[in-house]
Amino acid sequence: MHMAYHQLWLSGTDLQPGMIRTGSLPDRVWNPWPKRTQNLLFRCDVDLFNWIITHHGRPYLADMKTYVEDLIKFRNQVAHGDEPAALGAADVRLRMRWAIRMAAACDDALGHKLTTLTGHCWP
């Protein structure tokens, strides 16, 4: 990796598109991949996927995973100078809506768990 990216350490070197390929970097930066989010909440004894299935159904969860993963992949490609598949503004908005739905599901599931533990309903 040092050989591939040594020029980035030279003063005044600009990052060119495609210089850093997303597939070549270790994933030390955490992205909200649905499975990783599920694993994180599972540490709090919250099964996010089961929560979503219970409240919205399996097809909803499948769509959520697909669109959120697509958005993260697109974001990563842009951020690392790769050439992403073209997405129009409507496509990006659709994927963002699914990401917002996933965040809301996390909030709902964690809120329910907190209410269960404390007996207090949080606003």
Q: Which residue has the tokens 């990563």?
A: 76
User: How do the domains of the chain map onto residue ranges?
Assistant: 33-118
pLDDT digit string (tens) for 23-52?
Answer: 555 555 578 899 999 998 998 899 999 999
pLDDT digit string (tens) for 54-97?
Answer: 999 999 999 999 999 999 988 888 877 777 778 788 988 998 99
Closest to 81 in 3D by CA, of 26, 18, 22: 18
pLDDT greater than 50 at residue 122: yes
